[in-house]
Every structure is written in structure tokens, then in C-alpha cells.
Structure 1
Amino acid sequence: MPLLRAVPGAHGFLQRPVLRGIGGAGKRRFASSSRSPPASLKSGNIANSRPTEKNNSIAPFPTTRPSLPTVIGPTHTPLALQSRKASTIALDPKMYTTSFAFFEALWDAGVTHCFVNLGSDHPSMIEAMVKGAREKKGQFPRMITCPNEMVAMSMADGYARLTNKPQAVIVHVDVGTQGLGAAVHNSSTGRAAVLVFAGLSPITQEGELRGSRTEFIHWIQDVPDQKQIVAQYCRYSAELKTGVNVKQMVNRALQFAKSAPTGPVYLCGSREVMEQEIEPYSIKQDEWEPVELGGLPNSAVKKISEALAGAKSPLLITGYAGRNPEIPGKLVELANTVKGLRVLDTGGSDMCFPADHPAWLGLRYGNEEAIKAADAIVVLDCDVPWIPTQCKPREDAKIFHIDVDPLKQVMPLHYISAQARYRADALTSVDQLISELKSNESLKAKLVAEEDAKWEALQSSYKKRLDGIAETAKPLENGEFGTGYLCARLKELCPEDAIWAVEAVTNTLFVHDNAKPMMPGQWINCGGGGLGWSGGGALGIKLATDYEAQLKGQKAGKFVIHVVGDGSFLFSVPGSVYWIAKRYKIPILTIVLNNKGWNAPRRSLLLVHPDGLGANASNEEINIAFNPSPDYAGIAKAAAGGDLFAERVERTEDLDDVLKRAIEAVQGGQTAVLDCKVVNGC
């Protein structure tokens, strides 16, 4: 039976031949002279009227439309409505589509979770999700419904940041892509491997292919180049144009996502492409590994090793290196080899160096006295080692920059004064330096000289730093407390291996100083400037640690402490965050640092206009105050349907009791949110 479609003519609807496929993939089928509907339509058996021949073209609607009577006037039914019946034909349960192959490709590539916010562009994907859940249980990505795209992307980001395993996000056409918003920026700057897929408005409108336009919104959401909305933040972006190579396209995208510098990638495809029936196929997964970076050239190893061995005040500055869990241990070995070397984190993205080592300088955003004093500096995987308007190295300092992206190719303005720059893997490079320093006799002689004195000075400086942190964190005599004291108590009361998911903005340094992270992966901070990351980020981290634990036969993963400023809490879309926490049983402890507003704009103001009009103005005058203060814990509890531990605390004498009960609730499987009133500056 030829495949026909109804098109408007001068006297009603005429039947015209339908082309199977796109661009000549199929052959023209000519209409018969008969205008009678096929038997399958007469009997009502629409589903069985689909052609049975197999091919790799995009499937047309699987039925010939009956001829329609001529109707004149306002009662005329538009063709778009006439085509709806064909568009909603049930799919063959054995059907293998682009969408199903897409999910197979994700699973085979190691993607275990898809964070989804679905729309009218996803009918075939929904069919594939149901088919996968029923037929490939345990071998198909798990779907996590996210009522907001920012939360979805942040969950995938947090999951990927902890595990170094990319995850997927599925959103709705252009509007869902825009809804990702600042989360794409965070994943890009934070180097989180996330694959985003969004549908496109259908590319046909008269029922030529399965998936053709059926709703008013399909015209409204049709934009010239949807992927350009996020392309400048992505390592790769592309449109799926056929199902026959969908697995190759998914793996190509993931190669970009997983190759250093890791980051988000974006794919999109129309309904017709995603509905396409194809022959089941597989690819050789081991041929799609990411690009591996090498180490330093031999000349660089010698040059940097000599500079470190001969320096009186050597310094290593890092930011992202700790994403590799082997790095903290290697940096400890380097610090033990070069006595007097100190390690500074100016990124705060990951735990790069343990706080219990005397070489630890903690986290400082580009302004630290050690930078000014160092005579040899190694910058290792770091975006902003110092801020020139606030802090500069010595003129005679020897500076070497080792990075996966030393030129910062997506930053229009970026440069640091360095004698040499190397595109190299951090772990391999540090290994090379340690080997050279331990095997070169002349360097060993330099290192031994004054070794004891350097080590003693280092320990003295470390003790002084810890004493200063403890002094700053003391609660006030009036019973109020700051972020430092709060986090010191969290450190004491929470499990030793708890993971800190942090978005504290102006209070971040106080959190880090008192959290004192010591284990790889124990500290994960927002990767960029898109506030609102930590709500979804913390859920993704907890989901990841639980999933990884279950793979090892353990009951649950690590405890997750989510520390967030009150402004960032509102940005995080708590209505979605805590619904997800309840729906999927992802218990976290959220600490809201309530200082009644945004302090970051005031700090920025004072750095530029220290004596300006706004310097002595109130928070209300400069429009950064949250007064009256929202009930943050109450917002979260409402989102969780009432099943959430929610309390407010503002007195030192009450803090420990509230923290203990909240921790107990989380360990029992219930999320807890504490609204903590904190004093600024400590």
C-alpha cells in the first residue's frame, strides 16, 4: 500500500506521495487512484498499519490518511490538527529508535544518571525511557526528575566533580537550554564533564514524518541556531541529524567532555530524528577514550627542579589539581622532599592539599603574603594564582606555569608573568619533579643544606596560622557566633570523612579554614560565579557517593555537609532541591549562613570606592539587604512536603544541641536544613 499524506487542495484534501527518510534516503511512493482508507483504518487497527519493512530512514507516519470531505467556512479543521491522530500512534514495543540508541550509548560510556526536565520535544525519549526501564533494568541510565534546569545541571555537575564520571542532563528545546543558565557557566569554569541534550522543534509540519509538529508551541520555539545559546561555554556542541551514527556522536561529545580541560558538551536533535527507527548496533567502546596529556619535557623538569631546590621560599599554587584524587598525596611527597615548600590553593574548587600538613597555606583568593615572599613559584592547574591589583610576586621570582590549559583559551584577558608555560598533566608533572629531585645528587645536596632549619620554620609558621584561625573563630561574648565557629563545630561533630559542598561566597575562607579538609574529594566548592550551584550540587554529590558505595556492597555513602549563603540559597531554587531530596531519598545537611543579605556587592564596592558614597551606606540603601529575613528552613520543609528537619539557631549555647539532632536526622535518612544567624567577618 503506498504511503500518502493529505494536503489541502482547491476542493478539499488531496492525497500526495510521502517520501521515506531525508535527502533521498527513501524512494518515492506513488498514490493509487483509490481514495478509500486502508482496511486497517476501517477496522480501527491503526497501530498495525505501520509498514513492516526495515530501513535506516526516518520513519514517516505509519498510515495512509483517509480522504476527507470538503469543508468550507469556520468549521474547517486545520491540517495540524488532522495529523494528530497519526502522530500519536503507539510504537511497536520492539522498536529500536535513535532515542533508545542514545541512552544505550550513554550507559556504555559510563553515564549512569540522567537528570531530566522533559517537554514536547521528548516523546520518543520518553518511550525509550520506559522501554529501557522495563527491558534493560540495571543496564540503563537512571532518570532523576528535576523540576528546574539549574538544579538538574548542578546535580550532574556535583556528581561528575566527585567521581570524574560524566553524567547527562536532558532539557526542553531553547527554553530549557536557557533555563540551564548559570549552571552551564559553573560546569565550564569548574571543569565538570556533563552532557546536555535538548530537543529541537520538529522540522516538518504536515505529518511527513513521525514526530512532525502537533502543537502550537512548536512554531514559537523554533529558533535559528539553538546550540549557540550555550556554545561558548561548551567544549563541543552539535546537532544530531540522523540516528544511524547517534552512538558515535554521543561518544564524540563525551570525548570532549572527558578530555582536559573537562567540561560540558551540548547535543540537540529534532523529534523526527529522535523517532527514527534504525537497526540495532554497537560500537567498540574502548576506541572512544578521552585524549591523554603527557608530562613535562626533560628540559622543563630540570629547570623547575633546580629552581625549587635552590629557593629559600618556594611556593606551589594550585586550584583544580585535586580533582585527581592522587594529587594531594603526591603534593605531600613533593613538600616532604623540598623542605620549606608551601602549598596555596587560590581556586578553592577541590581539596588539593591536606590541612594537617605544615606546608598547608589553605585557601586564599589571589592575595597571600607567601606570594609576595616566594622566590620560586610553580603554578599548577590554576586559573587565578594572584590578583595583580591586590598582590604580586617578587620581580626576581622564578615562575613556572603547568596547566592543562595554560593560555586559558576561552578567557579574552588572561596572562601571568612566567619564565615558562607547559601544557601537561599535573600528576605526571609532579611525579617527574619528585623523581628528579630524589635522584639528582647535586639537587639532593642543595635540599639537605639548611633542611632542619627550613622544616622548623615551616612548622612554626603552620602553628601560628592554626592559632590565628582558632582565635578568629571564637564566638562573641554576647552569645552570637560567626561562620568560623559554626564550621569548627561541624568539623568536630560530623563524621570525619564527611564531604563539604560549599557556596559560602564572602564566608568561604572562614568555612575552609575551619573545615580543614584532609582527604581527597572532601571539599567541593562552586566551580564558577553562577550562584545557586550548591543545592543541586550537594544532591549530586550525595547521590554519587551513595551509588558508588552500593557498587561496593556498602549500605550508604559519605555524609554530605552543604554550606550555603542565604543569597545563594535563594538562587539554588530550594523548591526543587528539597522536593528532589525527598522524592529520591537523598539526605543532606544544609547549613544556611544567614547574614541578612548579599555581602559580596559591598566588598566589591569598597575595593573600587573605599571612600565613596556607598562606603557608609546601609545595606538597604545599596540594595543588598534581605529584610525581613525569609524562613529558609521553612521554605525547604514546605518543598519536602513537611518531611524535613528544619530549625533556626542564633545563640552559641544552642548550637551544639541543634547540630547533633540535625546530624542524627540526616544519618537516619531525613534531610536537615538549619537557618544559622551568623556574624560577619569571623
Structure 2
Amino acid sequence: MTTSTYTTSTLFLRSLSCAGITHAFVNWGSDHPALLEELERQRVESGTGKAQLNIITCPNEMVALSAAQGFTQSTGKIAAVIVHVDVGTQALAGAVHNVDRSRTPVLIYAGASPFSAQGEHKGTRNEWIMWIQDIPDQSAILRQYMRHTAQINSAKTVEKSIKRALQIATSSPSGPVYLWARREVMEEEIEPQSINLVSDMTGWPSIELSALSSNVTKIIASSLLHASSPMIITSHLGRSKSAVSALISLATLLALPVINSCPSAVNIPFTHPSYTGVTFLAPGTHWEGLNKADVILVLDSDTPWITENDRPQDGAKVFIIDGGDPLKVNIGYSHTDAEIICRADPGVALSQIEEGLREMGVRPEGEHWELIGADLNDNTESRIDARRLALAQAHSALVTNLDNAEAIFPSISSSGTEEGQGKYFSVTVPNLVGVLRQTIISATPSRGANTLILNESISNYPAVWHHLRPEFPGTVISSGGSSLGWGLGAAVGSSLSGRETDKPHELIVVIVGDGSFMFGVPSSAYWMARRYETPFLTIVLNNGGWKSPKLSMLGVHPKGHGSSVPGAQLSVGFGPSCPDYAQIAVAASAGWAWGTRIGGSVDAELAGLDEHALQKKLNDVIKDAIRIVMEEKRCAVVDCVLESI
């Protein structure tokens, strides 16, 4: 008869569960015997065959952490990641950067080689790899990206170690934490009654959201009120839906233009007149009003502008508000000239500023103003009305420009491609995203309000953000960092997260470049999607390689030797024979996923078709792909050939 032995690992898993963690994304190794044994004990003794945590097997560590990030971004609930000693910690790769920069709380746990070698303890070294995997400072691999790192030293302290880590991870600036333990510690036997002493996070709250001081609130409110040309710049405010509501309210009250600088979330609805567009700070792409603004409110933004390209006028008042790291202390060098810099939650701060304006007598459009004191004879109201009209006109022009770009489809060309000579066609990003957006609206019951789009389009970020025209907070997200490969794993995690809510996403779409697709380890990601039945649509923007390095080269050497040569010659291209991305997904999922390519060499079916027929084909492909995801509950991959780099 099998006997139950309770160990530190019992307390470890129990502590995670009691703290509210429901999912652990795992990649097991020689340091995890006690965890594997404990999970099976739970399955046997539960009578249901289930453990306390949902264990998600991840054949690749970066996909594991990306999936955990997507899970947390979608639900707001922290997830755990379990990896193998130093090598598994290293294999988390660029996902560590992404969870750090996106301020996504994740608890990462790694085992470590045993410290004993002669049988002194249970779990002592008994495999050759345990000598070469024992390094002097395992936490150093990723300490500079973590909010907290700590070693679990005994069964008696494991619960407190986890609670402290989670308290730090979920406090602003939230982010990842890293715990590790030697194998002997996780094998330490405990008394069964100690399991029942594990409690929830009561007594270990996250730090409360901070607010502006009353003096600073008054200064910012008064400055915005009396400004001739005020504006707001934000990047990540939309990570909090309540902050979006506060931004909409203030922007409406004062008719403030809002620019999205390198966004990672939906910060303001596209249809709101204050929505002025998106910039990723390429020269000449910032909002044209930046150099005329006299008061600028920067909210949760790492890079509101780049001085060498576009910048505010001299003398402009700049106020910076950030909920966790206004000085960007974890960035080697960062500086923005400002009058006041505040550590305060943007949503809270915006509500304070609006309340201050209302105390001054400011009222919404259509209501009678009651300006008092020094504001009594001010012409502020008429200036705001004029600004409101100008914003509406500018927004109408923006919509017209986007409509026009989406409507112009390229014709079939006789030029050669990297795959050989002959007729071919490609779609443009406006074509594709326009069709995708319209199809989502018509195919989903909520008309897109309950669709999640994960955007990892990189060099096509500006076009994708613009043409998605996102309307609802939380419906479009990106990694928040710059390490490629987030999207596929995050789509799996986001799909899993829907099972934790009473309103799961109707559709999940991930938009990736062909480079991002390859970085995302599709062999692991689509295996996981099949194993855990997490259907999503993948749109691959296939421009034949890495466009971003070429753009970086052109930014420094616009007329150099490399300025006129194709990507393949620059060694940034994937030709002459690009991978069949859709079939990679099909193979990885053992035939479960569906995939097709649109664009490229023209076959007999398409020869002679005009642009209207090509538009219909794109419509049909996207419609069919969405049907497969929503009705058949399978992954679909559409490889969209763009103009080659």
C-alpha cells in the first residue's frame, strides 16, 4: 500500500493555492521529484484525479513564462512558473524582460542542485548533472529584472517566503519575483497537521494605490485649465480599465487631445474625439500638435517623445505621473525635462485633477460654468469649445485616411519574388487589418467588445494599432517589452484565463510578424494549444524576414551601401525559401490546427483576378479562419504575404 509523506513541497503548493494562484506553467527537471510526487499524491487522495493547481506542461520555458504573462494580463490574477535549476532559468530568455517591462506580476520558482553529495539528506545528489548545474549565484541570472529574489531555506519558512514574494510582486511597480530552493529542502518531511495551518494572503496586502498631493493636484488642474494647447501622452494607462474611464472623463471635460506613444494597451477608445493616433516615435510620426503644446501631462509612459526627432516647444510645462517608477530607475539612462514628477496611480490622479477642476467651477459641455476667483473673467470656456471642434475635425480626417488606406488593394504584379519569377500578389497591413476588424465585428456576438487581440507586429506596430481602431479597454494588448516571441505563448495563457471567468473571450487573435512567429517557439506553443484546447487565430505578417534591423540601419545610414539591397542580401531575410508558417502549426498540433497562406506566387485559380476579387478572397479566408476558431474550437493560422523586405 502506498503511504503518504508530506514535505516542504506540500506546503509550497498549498501556499500557492491558498494565495489565490490557480495555474502553474511548468517545465520539470531533476530538482522537482518532491513536487511531482506531491502532485500525484493530491490527485490520488482528492478522489477526483485533480491536483490543487492546474498544471500546464510547457515544453519550452520562454513559452511557459509568456503564457503566464498572457494569463495574468487577461485576468489580473497572478500565475506561477516552475523551471529547472540554472538552465531552465536561463531558458526563460527574453520573456523575463517582457514581464519586467510590462509590470506583470508572475511568481517564478526554480529548483537548484542539492547541496549534499554523500547521502546526508533525502534528495542528495545522485545524478552527474547535479555537479555541473550547481552555480555560485543562481538568482544573479535574472535578479536585475526581478522585484524580489529569495531562497527558500526550510519547510517552516516556505509559506512566509511565498507571501512576501507575492506581496512585492503585486505592489506597484508590480512585476516578476523569483524563488529558488535546494532539492533537500523541498524533500524535507513535515507533520501532516502543519498543512492545515497554511492561510490565505490576509495580513499581506499589496501597497495601496498612491495619490497626488493636494498642492500638486491644484497646480496641474489649473495649468490644464488655462493652457492654450494642452495635451496628454500615455503608453500603458489602459492596463487599468478604471484609469481609462478617468482619462475619458478628463479628456472630455477639457477637450484634451490624447496621443498613444508606443502603446501596450487600449488607453482611450478610437471613436473618442480626443483619440489623435499612435506613434512609435519614428522621425516625423509624433502628433503634429506636440511642438505647439504649452502644457503636457505624461501618464505611464516610458518614452513620451524622442528629443532628436519630435519634441515640445521650449517653455512647455510638462507634468509626469507614473504609478510605480516615474524616474525609470531600472533603465540605464532615461530623462524627460519636467516641471513636476509624481509617483501616483494615473487613474487616481486623473480623478483628483477632475475633481479639482470641478471645484474651480468647470462643468461638462452644455452645463453652465461657475468659474470662481481668478478664473472669473477667463475665456477658458470658449477656448475649450474651439479645441473640441478642432479635435472632432481632426478625428474625422483620421478616419477618412484610414478608410482610404484599407480600400486600396494592390493588383497582381509580374515582378519576381524571392521564391522565383512569375506573377504574385501581396496584401497590405491596412487591407488585412481592415478586413480582420470588420469580420470580427460581424462574427462575434459582442461585435468585438469581448475579443482579445494580442499585437506583436513589431515593425508594423503603428499600422496595426491604427487600423484595429480599438474601442474597448482590454481588447488589444502587447508584451509591454521588446523581446520577441511573446504572442503565441501569451495566446495560450489568455485562452486558459477565460476558464477563470464567467465571461470568457469569444475570440482570441494574435498578430505576429514572421520573425515574432519563429521566436515564439511554435513547436511548443501549438502543442500546448492542442493539449489544453486553447483555440486562437494567428495572423502572420510575412514580409520575408526581420524588417526592424533594416529600419534601424536606415535610421543611421539612410543612403549607405545597405539602403538599396533586399533583406536576403543584408542577412535579415528568410528567403529564398521562407518557412511554411501555417504548416508548422499544423505539424506541431498533430494536424489539429488549420492553416493557409494568402499572397505570394499566383496559382491558376487567381491568375487574372482583379483587386476586387483579391479582396473577396481575403474576406473569405479571414471569415473561414474565425469560424474554425469560434465554431470548431481549433487554432487557425493565416500566413499573409506582405511586400518583401
* TM norm structure 2: 0.88
Q: Which among 26, 33, 45 is matched to residue 123 of structure 1?
A: 33
What code does the residue aligned with 2:280 have? Y
Distance across 2 between alignment mates of 1:344 and 1:390: 16
1:533 is matched with which residue?
A: 486
Deviations 1:599-653 (A, max 9, x none): 1011101111112111112212211111111100000000000111111112434
1:649 is matched with which residue?
A: 598
CA contact (8 A) 2:39 2:51 kept: no
1:167 is matched with which residue?
A: 79
For the residue of structure 1 that corresponds to 2:480, the secondary structure is coil
1:83 is matched with which residue?
A: none
Q: How does 1:51-90 map to 2 (within 5 A)?
A: none
What code does the residue aligned with 1:656 have? N
Residues 429 and 170 (structure 1 numbering): CA distance in 2 closer, same or farther, change over 3 Å?
same
Q: Which among 616, 620, 627 is matched to residue 568 of structure 2?
A: 620
1:410 is matched with which residue?
A: 330
Distance across 1 between alignment mates of 2:218 and 2:22: 43
Question: Gaps spanning 5+ residues in structure 1: where?
Answer: 1-46, 48-89
Kindly indicate whether residue 462 of structure 2 is the aligned counterpart of residue 509 of structure 1: yes
What code does the residue aligned with 1:127 have? E
Distance across 2 between alignment mates of 1:375 and 1:542: 44
CA contact (8 A) 2:78 2:106 kept: yes
Deviations 1:316-355 (A, max 9, x none): 111121111111121110111112x111111321111111
Distance across 2 between alignment mates of 1:114 and 1:621: 44
2:622 is matched with which residue?
A: 659
Kindly indicate whether residue 632 of structure 2 is the aligned counterpart of residue 632 of structure 1: no
Deviation at 1:284, TM superposition (A): 5.4
2:384 is matched with which residue?
A: 451
For the residue of structure 2 that corresponds to 1:382, the secondary structure is coil
CA contact (8 A) 2:18 2:199 kept: no
Q: Which among 386, 393, 399 is matched to residue 312 of structure 2?
A: 393
Kindly indicate whether residue 348 of structure 2 is the aligned counterpart of residue 428 of structure 1: yes
Q: How does 1:314-393 map to 2 (within 5 A)?
A: 314-339=230-255, 341-366=256-281, 367-368=285-286, 369-393=288-312
Kindly indicate whether residue 532 of structure 2 is the aligned counterpart of residue 584 of structure 1: yes
Q: How does 1:183-332 map to 2 (within 5 A)?
A: 183-278=95-190, 279-280=194-195, 281-283=197-199, 285-332=201-248
What code does the residue aligned with 2:433 have? C
Deviation at 1:485, TM superposition (A): 1.4
Deviation at 1:446, TM superposition (A): 5.3
Residues 465 and 641 (structure 1 numbering): CA distance in 2 closer, same or farther, change over 3 Å?
same
Distance across 1 between alignment mates of 2:105 and 2:289: 33
Question: Gaps spanning 5+ residues in structure 2: where?
Answer: 362-370, 413-424, 600-613
Q: Which among 102, 109, 119 is matched to residue 19 of structure 2?
A: 109
Deviation at 1:377, TM superposition (A): 0.5
Distance across 2 between alignment mates of 1:447 and 1:535: 49
Distance across 1 between alignment mates of 2:499 and 2:379: 48
Deviation at 1:447, TM superposition (A): 4.3
Deviation at 1:135, TM superposition (A): 4.1
Deviation at 1:480, TM superposition (A): 3.5
Distance across 2 between alignment mates of 1:447 and 1:336: 15
Distance across 2 between alignment mates of 1:488 and 1:284: 47
Kindly indicate whether residue 93 of structure 2 is the aligned counterpart of residue 181 of structure 1: yes
Distance across 2 between alignment mates of 1:134 and 1:476: 61
Distance across 2 between alignment mates of 1:336 and 1:139: 50
CA contact (8 A) 2:317 2:338 kept: yes
2:70 is matched with which residue?
A: 158
Deviation at 1:680, TM superposition (A): 6.8
Deviation at 1:452, TM superposition (A): 2.6
CA contact (8 A) 1:195 1:254 kept: yes
CA contact (8 A) 2:21 2:78 kept: yes
CA contact (8 A) 1:308 1:314 kept: yes
1:486 is matched with which residue?
A: 432
Residues 680 and 344 (structure 1 numbering): CA distance in 2 closer, same or farther, change over 3 Å?
farther
Distance across 2 between alignment mates of 1:183 and 1:572: 10
Distance across 1 between alignment mates of 2:543 and 2:460: 10
Q: Which among 564, 567, 570 is matched to residue 518 of structure 2?
A: 570
2:545 is matched with which residue?
A: 597
Residues 613 and 548 (structure 1 numbering): CA distance in 2 closer, same or farther, change over 3 Å?
same
Distance across 1 between alignment mates of 2:179 and 2:301: 29
Deviation at 1:132, TM superposition (A): 3.0
What code does the residue aligned with 1:300 have? V
What code does the residue aligned with 1:112 have? T
Distance across 2 between alignment mates of 1:284 and 1:643: 40
1:672 is matched with which residue?
A: 636
CA contact (8 A) 1:309 1:446 kept: no
Percent identity of paired positions between Structure 1 and Structure 2: 38
Kindly indicate whether residue 495 of structure 2 is the aligned counterpart of residue 542 of structure 1: yes
CA contact (8 A) 2:298 2:318 kept: yes
What code does the residue aligned with 1:240 have? I
What code does the residue aligned with 2:63 have? V
CA contact (8 A) 2:99 2:176 kept: yes
Kindly indicate whether residue 477 of structure 2 is the aligned counterpart of residue 524 of structure 1: yes
Deviations 1:497-526 (A, max 9, x none): 211101100111111111111111111112
1:33 is matched with which residue?
A: none
1:80 is matched with which residue?
A: none
Distance across 1 between alignment mates of 2:392 and 2:543: 35
CA-based RMSD:
1.7
Distance across 2 between alignment mates of 1:680 and 1:436: 53
Residues 565 and 629 (structure 1 numbering): CA distance in 2 closer, same or farther, change over 3 Å?
same
Deviation at 1:572, TM superposition (A): 0.3
Distance across 2 between alignment mates of 1:375 and 1:433: 18
CA contact (8 A) 1:547 1:557 kept: no
Distance across 1 between alignment mates of 2:99 and 2:319: 27
For the residue of structure 2 that corresponds to 1:461, the secondary structure is helix
Distance across 2 between alignment mates of 1:625 and 1:183: 24
Q: Which among 508, 511, 514 is matched to residue 560 of structure 1?
A: 508
Distance across 2 between alignment mates of 1:351 and 1:680: 30
CA contact (8 A) 2:544 2:644 kept: no
Distance across 1 between alignment mates of 2:253 and 2:131: 65
What code does the residue aligned with 1:560 have? I
Larger radius of gyration: 1
* TM norm structure 1: 0.83
Distance across 2 between alignment mates of 1:383 and 1:194: 21
Deviation at 1:677, TM superposition (A): 0.7
What code does the residue aligned with 1:617 have? V
Deviation at 1:470, TM superposition (A): 2.2
CA contact (8 A) 1:542 1:558 kept: no
Distance across 2 between alignment mates of 1:506 and 1:312: 35
2:611 is matched with which residue?
A: none
CA contact (8 A) 1:122 1:271 kept: yes
For the residue of structure 2 that corresponds to 1:176, the secondary structure is helix
Residues 439 and 226 (structure 1 numbering): CA distance in 2 closer, same or farther, change over 3 Å?
same
For the residue of structure 2 that corresponds to 1:501, the secondary structure is strand
Q: Which among 6, 10, 23 is matched to residue 100 of structure 1?
A: 10
Report the count of equivalent residues. 585
